[in-house]
Structure 1
Amino acid sequence: MKPYCFANNQINSSEKAVIHPMDISLIRGYGIFDFFRTSNYTPLFLIDYLDRFIRSAEKTRLLLKPSKDELASIIFELIQKNDLESGGIRMLLTGGVSENHFSPVEGSLFIFCEDLDFPPKEKYINGVKLLSAEHVRAIADVKTTNYAYPVWHSGDWKSQGAEDVIYHHKGLVSESSRSNIFMIKDGEIATPDSHILHGITRKRVLEISGKVNIRPIKFEEILAADELFMTSTTKKILPITQIDNNKIGDGKPGNETKLLMEKFKGMESKSSA
């Protein structure tokens, strides 16, 4: 974490950022966050992330006092004070300390600047393995702080050589624990339509891909895909070459995925210029 953050309604030393232990974001797991990157001192796709954060606050009935313009101003000041040429910015809004220890009240807003590491280069070259899990994330279209299930489940990932999980329920795929999912089959690019977070990287991929079918996708379709990849702020576009013990396609990142990776790289370069 970088030296300066936004806490207690002002820019402060990060060491002074504190939260009450009875805040329902701690005792009930009720809060929201968002995370985005900077490149060349520019917050990438900032308006999209701020819009989603504001929507999340509204949907979860959490009071977010600063306006979008005020949030942007705070973020640009933090980037300069922390000399954050390239890194991550995390916004967090808590549920507050309520009398019944359950209902949301006025909470605390924090904005932190962080170092950021991407997956190693070989994972983009060789692809990654995911484990399947029968699960639907609660309030899936909101980036809540409740990650109890994947944090608990992650204890199995490393021992099985997996990067993450892929969620499915009643035969339909939704998302990974921290990423959206795309598949390519016979030239068609498709991505799930429900029980998902509407990722900002997902949105960018929809733009650069041309026609993408947003529809229900069966788990069996995923296993039979020619190519598969995941998208997120911290992974960009990361090829998936194995689900459980099932090889995807020929077990290597496909040409369409590689092309999208290059297009996304070009889009980011223009955004940070």
Structure 2
Amino acid sequence: MSIKPYVLTETEYVNQEELTYPFEERGLQFGDGVYEVIRVYHGEYYLIEEHVERLFRSAAAIKLEVPYTKEDMYKRLEQLLQLNAFTGDGKVYLQITRGSAPRDHAFPKGVGANLYAYVSDVQRKLDLMKDGISTITEPDVRWDLCYIKSLNLLPNVMAKQTATEQNCFEAVLHKDGKVTECSSSNVYLVKDGAIYTHPATKNILHGCVRMRIEAFAKEAGIPFHEEAFHLDDMNEADELFLTSSTAEVMPIVNVDGKAVANGTPGNITRLMQQAYEKDAGIPENASIFADCTENKSVS
């Protein structure tokens, strides 16, 4: 993953080598901040409005003042791509913390926020999107305010590492058997032609791609139920898939060593992948289905 040289800060654009913060920085010491990851395709942002809106909601939830207005943020993020002459596929990581101050749990007074945003190359995971991925299940031990996209990600990191150690792509999280989401993505169950996913409560991150999946389903006439499902339901699922800004729409074909249905991506998952690619403006020659004629016109 190649990080591009110019970085947006709370005041200006700087070369990444010039970006330094004091060691008494609240993001480092308390996880006192919020972040976003915004997908870029062919030098164009995808779902930037949704991401910026969520950034401001998360910041407001922790009483953090964003250094820019929403309008300024849009302009500066566009300028960030232009300054780096970025025309490929990638992502922008944007983080805001409560600033740098002597360590104290209480909010510091008279201290401005620290902000940085940078661009990096991210290639699409085409092989995994075609063939599907394996997952494990793990207890959801995170705090109760997961709708805030905060920097406090240690439980997510531990769950993802457990999955990685078992050669799996993701960990599906659950609270006493009720599935919430994954360590870094939202998760969906397909049964009898309908899609099910956990309601957008405080217990999950309200994914930007998740919102588009609901719209895609509606456009395709597929019932979309914001209704939590359980681990046992996954054993009887017709299909499972997950979504995130970097994973896009990813079929799940194995959970805890057991195949999902026949162990191959299902038709509704394929429809959601096609809808995503169309919505994101993915050209035909870069499509998941470019070399997959059997799935090229799923209906």
d(CA) in 2 for partners of 1:104 and 1:26? 15
| 3-state DSSP of counterpart to 1:89 | strand
**Does 1:124 pair with 2:126?**
no
Q: Is the 8 A contact 2:134 2:255 kept in 1?
A: yes
TM-fit CA distance, 1:262? 0.7
Size of the alignment, in residue pairs? 270
d(CA) in 1 for partners of 2:153 and 2:146? 11
TM-fit CA distance, 1:100? 4.9
Aligned in 2, Cα 1:227/1:75: closer, same or farther, shift over 3 Å? Answer: same
Identity of aligned residues (%): 24
**Alignment-mate amino acid for residue 15 of structure 2:** S
Alignment of 1:178-217 (within 5 A): 178-193=184-199, 194=201, 195-210=203-218, 211-217=223-229
> Which digits, 9 at most, give the CA deviation of each residue in 1:219-239, with x for residues without a partner?
211222110000000011000
Q: Is the 8 A contact 1:32 1:144 kept in 2?
A: yes
d(CA) in 2 for partners of 1:136 and 1:214? 22
d(CA) in 1 for partners of 2:79 and 2:270? 36
TM-fit CA distance, 1:150? 2.9
| 3-state DSSP of counterpart to 1:130 | strand
> Which digits, 9 at most, give the CA deviation of each residue in 1:101-125, with x for residues without a partner?
2234432011111111332x32122
Q: TM-score, normalised by structure 1?
A: 0.93
Q: Is the 8 A contact 2:36 2:93 kept in 1?
A: yes
d(CA) in 2 for partners of 1:88 and 1:125? 21
TM-fit CA distance, 1:40? 3.0
Equivalent position of 1:107 in the other structure:
113
Unmatched tracts of structure 2, length 5 or more: 283-299
d(CA) in 1 for partners of 2:166 and 2:103? 42
Unmatched tracts of structure 1, length 5 or more: none
Question: 82, 85, 94: which is aligned to 1:83?
Answer: 85
Question: 144, 150, 172: which is aligned to 2:156?
Answer: 150
**Alignment-mate amino acid for residue 227 of structure 2:** R
TM-fit CA distance, 1:136? 4.1
Aligned in 2, Cα 1:155/1:40: closer, same or farther, shift over 3 Å? Answer: closer
Q: Which moved more, 1:137-146 or 1:66-75?
A: 137-146
Equivalent position of 1:71 in the other structure:
73
Equivalent position of 1:31 in the other structure:
33
**Alignment-mate amino acid for residue 200 of structure 1:** C
Moved over 6 A (4+): none
